[in-house]
Amino acid sequence: MTANLRTTLKLLAPHVRPYLGILGLVLALGALGASAQRGIFLLLTPTWEVLFPADPVALGSLGAAGQAQELVGGGGLGAMRDGLMRAVLGAEVVPADPDARLAMLFRVGALIAAISVLAAVVHYFFLYLARWAALRMVVSLRVSLARHLMGLSLRYHGERKFGDLLSRISADVSTTLNIVNNTLTELVQEPLLAVASLAFAFLIAPEATLLVAVGLPILAWSIGLLARKVRKGSVRSHTTLGASVQALSQMFQGVRTVKAFGAEERELERYREMNEGYVRATMRMVRALAFTNAWTILYSHVGLAILLVVVGVFTIKSGLFQHDGDMLTFFMLISGVYSNIKRTARAVTRANEAVGASQRLQEVLDEVPEITEGSAAIAIEPGKALQAGVELRDVSFTYAGSAAPALADINLHIKPGETLALVGHSGSGKSTLMDLVARFIDPTAGSILVGGHDLRELSLDSWCAAYAMVGQDPFLFHTTIAENIEYGRPGAGEAEVAAAARMANIHEFIAELPEGYQTNVADAGTRLSGGQKQRITIARALLKEAPLLLLDEATSALDPLAEAAVQEALERLMANHTVLVIAHRLSTIRNADRIVVLEEGRIVEQGSHADLLARGGVYAGLQETQLQS
Ligand SMILES: Nc1ncnc2c1ncn2[C@@H]1O[C@H](COP(=O)(O)OP(=O)(O)OP(=O)(O)O)[C@@H](O)[C@H]1O
Ligand SMILES: [Mg+2]
């Protein structure tokens, strides 16, 4: 149990630390509020006294109870009561005069009202600050999770299910922060109320209070046992929730495919089944939760009955309570203790839900980023980095978990200003090679040299600034076209954006749209074609003005007109950059200065288009079957 609670504490610690001061204040307010709320009960005794002034004679006969309690004027238990009477009523003896008694009653009423106002104000700030701190912590945890995830490699994201991550960042964080949110308020408030009640009860009747206190550890222990079940259930519940969010996100991401295959019902059925799994897992936890609460109620009520009988017996036999008002106050306080314990138990079980959820978050945070920069990372000018091109020396790469290397003993020098085309069968390692150059992955052997440095020695930012990348599937953010292009160089002006669009052969098209550059690409009615999207991403890359261009040509064919437009844009791009292109089109390849042919992770041929054709090797074979004219 403690090991797991430690997980939660470790997870929360960095986010709690900035708010420790506030939390201390919350704790103090909670204690003050609890004392005020429970202190009101103490005023019952004087009230009782005013309404039913005790008969000192009757009390005197019970005085032989064996308790060393000094009787005072109005009858009663002791010095504490004595003081209380004086403080509240302004006298130790209740006068017989009805008017004087009424005045005393109003005095007590006013005092209760005053304490209530204090309790209410304190409670307001207690809740306000507790929730405020909790919300701040949620946000801080979410942001740091997102930041951590961003730093993880593409491989991690490739394997990871997007929906599951989404569910972790939203649902699991919320559940985890229950421990400081709803639960913090309860976990602080309720035990404090219980302690305040017990303390006040102890002042009135020490023996009886000790009797109550003996029963509490047993209750706490049994709740701890049940809480473990809740925790296990919580992990299962959140895991299945993650799976169902995953199913949902897949379903909508692939909505075209789903509809095209008329698979809506099948998908919905699958989603329904996943939700069934979620219900089953959650209900297991709910059963444990409900059982815990029911057990607490049973224990506390039976406990109250036993206490009533025991206290009653002692009161009858030996005058444990010598005064009805005291006994009333005592039971008011003690019954309060049990409901505080009940709510504390509920908070503890909820906190265990949080522990379950935080385990899943810790898993994410424990994932170590593969691509890191050393403490002495070198920052280098983009132009300088590319001065001598990019050199791969004996580079090999093997994906984790696969036996054969995806790339083996690659020696390749991409010269400055050169356009180098990579070709090869599917699975030959082209994308892997490009990922290495982009430093999405690091070689398992050998090294990549730029500007006289190993790529791993450079700061991530400075290498990133040295290249622009155009991917196979153009990705646009759900915002305006202008912003999508500007992404290449934040802060670029309108004129520069338009110039890049012109170079990318897309300016005319954008200018004709009713809203021009301010058109939102997500708006209905402005669905862009594949070729248009591609040219927007090319404009984005152009705007970045990085010396090295990494280009993964789309395999899907565009219609000849769009194709020509994209081709023209690419040619402009290639003219003044060092380019590494995964080429599928003959036109691109013809424009390349050099063609490198990959086969099963090795370079098998290189040269110009004409040379390679003449050779009649792998390239000539590819030419016939794969490359598009
Ligand atoms: N994330 C991965 N984990 C394990 N193996 C991978 C991973 N990505 C690629 N591979 C394997 O590495 C080899 C090279 O893949 P790569 O994606 O580089 O090929 P490619 O030449 O780009 O193919 P295509 O033309 O189809 O895009 C393949 O055998 C592939 O199965
Ligand atoms: Mg590929």
Q: CA 249, CA 263: separation in Å to the nearest integer? A: 15
Residue whose CA is at the smallest distance from ligand 1 atom 1: 155
Of 315, 332, 366, which residue sits at a domain end?
A: 366
Are 448 and 314 in the same domain? no
Q: Name the strands in the sheet holding 548-552, side by side, starting at the edge strand that comes first in the sequence.
A: 467-470, 548-552, 578-582, 419-424, 594-599, 602-607
Residue whose CA is at the smallest distance from ligand 1 atom 31: 427
Q: Does residue 76's CB lie within 6 angstroms of at least one atom of ligand 1?
A: no
Which DSSP helix (H) or strand (E) runs through 596?
A: strand 594-599
Are 434 and 546 in the same domain? yes
- How far are the Cα atoms of 25, 160, 469, 544, 571 from residue 463, in angstroms, in the given order? 47, 26, 12, 13, 24
Residue 294 falls inside a structural domain = yes
Are 490 and 393 in the same domain? yes
Residue whose CA is at the smallest distance from ligand 1 atom 19: 427
Segment 518-534 shows an average pLDDT of 78
Q: Does residue 246's CB lie within 6 angstroms of at least one atom of ligand 1?
A: no
pLDDT given for residue 312 in this prediction: 86
Q: CA 124, CA 117: separation in Å to the nearest integer? A: 11
We report the CATH number of the domain holding residue 459 as 3.40.50.300
Measured in Å, residue 244 CA sits from the centre of ligand 1 at: 29
Are 318 and 416 in the same domain? no
In a 13 Å sphere around the CA of 334, the CA atoms on its Cβ side amount to 30
Segment 36-40 shows an average pLDDT of 86
Of 306, 341, 366, which residue sits at a domain end?
A: 366
Q: Does residue 109's CB lie within 6 angstroms of at least one atom of ligand 1?
A: no
Q: Which ligand is nearest to the CA of 405?
A: 1
Q: CA 471, CA 484: separation in Å to the nearest integer? A: 15
For a ligand 1 pocket test, name from 428, 441, 473, 585 the mutation site with the most ligand atoms within 8 angstroms of its C-beta: 428
Give the residue, 555 or 123, on which the prediction is more confident.
123
Residue whose CA is at the smallest distance from ligand 1 atom 11: 406
Residue whose CA is at the smallest distance from ligand 1 atom 18: 429
Is 1 a residue whose pLDDT tops 60? no
Are 556 and 612 in the same domain? yes
Residue 139 falls inside a structural domain = yes
Are 345 and 394 in the same domain? no
Is 317 a residue whose pLDDT tops 90? no
Residue 372 falls inside a structural domain = no
Is 362 a residue whose pLDDT tops 90? no
pLDDT given for residue 526 in this prediction: 59
- 166-197 residue pLDDT tens: 888 888 888 777 766 776 678 888 888 888 88
Q: CA 608, CA 615: separation in Å to the nearest integer? A: 11
Helices (H), 152-263: 154-159, 162-167, 173-177, 182-204, 206-253, 255-260
Is 61 a residue whose pLDDT tops 50? no
pLDDT band, very low/low/confident/very high, at 80 (cuts 50, 70, 90): low
Q: Which ligand is nearest to the CA of 423?
A: 1
pLDDT given for residue 366 in this prediction: 87
For a ligand 1 pocket test, name from 425, 426, 431 the mutation site with the most ligand atoms within 8 angstroms of its C-beta: 431
Residue whose CA is at the smallest distance from ligand 1 atom 6: 399
pLDDT band, very low/low/confident/very high, at 326 (cuts 50, 70, 90): confident
pLDDT given for residue 485 in this prediction: 94
Is 44 a residue whose pLDDT tops 90? no
Environment class of 567 (CB within 10 Å of its CB; exposed 0-12, middle 13-18, buried 19+): middle
Segment 543-564 shows an average pLDDT of 78
Residue 376 falls inside a structural domain = no
Is 627 a residue whose pLDDT tops 70? no
We report the CATH number of the domain holding residue 335 as 1.20.1560.10
pLDDT given for residue 65 in this prediction: 37
pLDDT given for residue 59 in this prediction: 36
Residue whose CA is at the smallest distance from ligand 1 atom 28: 427
Q: Does residue 158's CB lie within 6 angstroms of at least one atom of ligand 1?
A: yes
Measured in Å, residue 151 CA sits from the centre of ligand 2 at: 23
Segment 195-223 shows an average pLDDT of 84
Measured in Å, residue 469 CA sits from the centre of ligand 2 at: 14
Is 159 a residue whose pLDDT tops 60? yes
Are 309 and 413 in the same domain? no
Are 352 and 397 in the same domain? no
pLDDT given for residue 276 in this prediction: 92
Are 314 and 401 in the same domain? no
Residue 158 falls inside a structural domain = yes
Is 95 a residue whose pLDDT tops 80? no
Are 540 and 475 in the same domain? yes
Are 82 and 38 in the same domain? yes
**Which of 93-97, 139-143, 440-444, 488-492 is predicted least confidently?**
93-97
Looking at residue 38, its amino acid is: R
For 354, the domain range is: 2-366
- 222-264 residue pLDDT tens: 877 887 788 788 888 888 888 888 888 888 888 888 888 888 8
Residue whose CA is at the smallest distance from ligand 1 atom 3: 399
Measured in Å, residue 429 CA sits from the centre of ligand 1 at: 6
Structure tokens given for 88: 């509240």
Residue 374 falls inside a structural domain = no
Segment 357-367 shows an average pLDDT of 83
Are 78 and 36 in the same domain? yes
pLDDT given for residue 217 in this prediction: 81
Residue 371 falls inside a structural domain = no
Is 147 a residue whose pLDDT tops 80? yes
- 256-288 residue pLDDT tens: 888 888 888 988 998 999 899 999 999 988 898
- Give the chain's mean pLDDT: 83
Q: 3-class DSSP state for residue 602? A: strand
pLDDT given for residue 406 in this prediction: 94
Q: Does residue 402's CB lie within 6 angstroms of at least one atom of ligand 1?
A: yes
Is 67 a residue whose pLDDT tops 60? no
Measured in Å, residue 194 CA sits from the centre of ligand 2 at: 65
Q: Does residue 426's CB lie within 6 angstroms of at least one atom of ligand 1?
A: yes
Q: How many domains are contained in the chain?
A: 2
Measured in Å, residue 427 CA sits from the centre of ligand 1 at: 5
